[in-house]
Amino acid sequence: MPDQSNGGMQVDPDLVRQLAELLDATQLTEIEVQDGDRRIRVARKAAAVHAGPTYAAAPAAAPAALHPPVAAADPAAPAGEHPGTIRSPMVGTVYLSAEPGGKPFVGPGDKVAAGDTLLIVEAMKVMNPILSPRAGTVRTLIVENGQPVEFDQPLVVVE
């Protein structure tokens, strides 16, 4: 509620604390709430993520060093707008391999079948495999290992 004496806003420290805890719990980098004329935004810098947790092994492909990026079929279209773009179904952290330091699931130029694991998005300590919706060739990995991702963020292009 606005403070009538000086025109400023009264900030509820408990609400700010709750929003900060929600940021930590969901691994978001910012959150904003609005109640009438009052709007509160809490943001934090994204922490650098190093090696991810150990998780169940899955079939792997060749190391990423052997997979140079391959340009998308339509160079005029950014990777995120390519019709073969696969997007993140959730907020989380991307892991390109089954275990820290392991071989990536796929790399640019790899052939994949429908249902093959492309990468993992960890959300709330749950490892969620992101599967290829169709057979094709991996054209571009848009994300890096350990990178935080948002809902609907482009991850990989499969043609």
Shared-domain flag, residues 87 and 11: no
Mean pLDDT over 114-132 rounds to 93
Q: Which CATH number does the domain housing residue 114 bear? A: 2.40.50.100
92-114 pLDDT per residue, tens: 999 999 998 899 999 999 999 99
Q: Does residue 56 lie within any of the structural domains?
A: no
- Calculate the alpha carbon distances from 150 to 36, 39, 56, 101 in Å: 27, 22, 23, 24
| CA dist 116 → 11, 59, 64, 107 (Å) | 49, 9, 17, 13
Please answer whether residues 117 and 103 qualify as being in contact, where contact means their C-beta atoms are separated by less than 8 angstroms: no
Helices (H), ranges, the chain: 13-26
d(CA 27, CA 21): 10
Residues 119/134, Cβ–Cβ less than 8 Å = no
The reply to whether 98 and 152 lie within a common domain is yes
How far does the chain reach from its first CA to its final CA, in angstroms? 53
> For the segment 37-51, what is each residue's pLDDT rounded down to a tens digit?
777 777 765 444 433
52: in domain: no
Place of tokens 């160079």: 75
Asked if residue 122 and residue 148 are part of one domain, the reply reads yes
Quick one: 100 and 154 in the same domain?
yes
69 and 42 co-located in one domain: no
Q: What is the DSSP letter of 48?
A: P
Residue 42 or 144, more confident: 144
Q: Is residue 22 part of a domain?
A: yes
Q: Which domain covers residue 14, as residue numbers?
A: 1-46
- Choose between 41 and 79: higher pLDDT: 41
The answer as to whether 132 is a domain residue is yes
- Range name among 28-32, 63-67, 111-115, 142-146 with the lowest pLDDT average: 63-67
Task: Indicate whether 141 pLDDT > 90.
Answer: yes
Residue linked to tokens 């934090």 = 44
Number of domains composing the chain: 2
My answer on whether 92 and 20 are in the same domain is no
Return the pLDDT at 3.
46
Tokens of 132: 């290829």
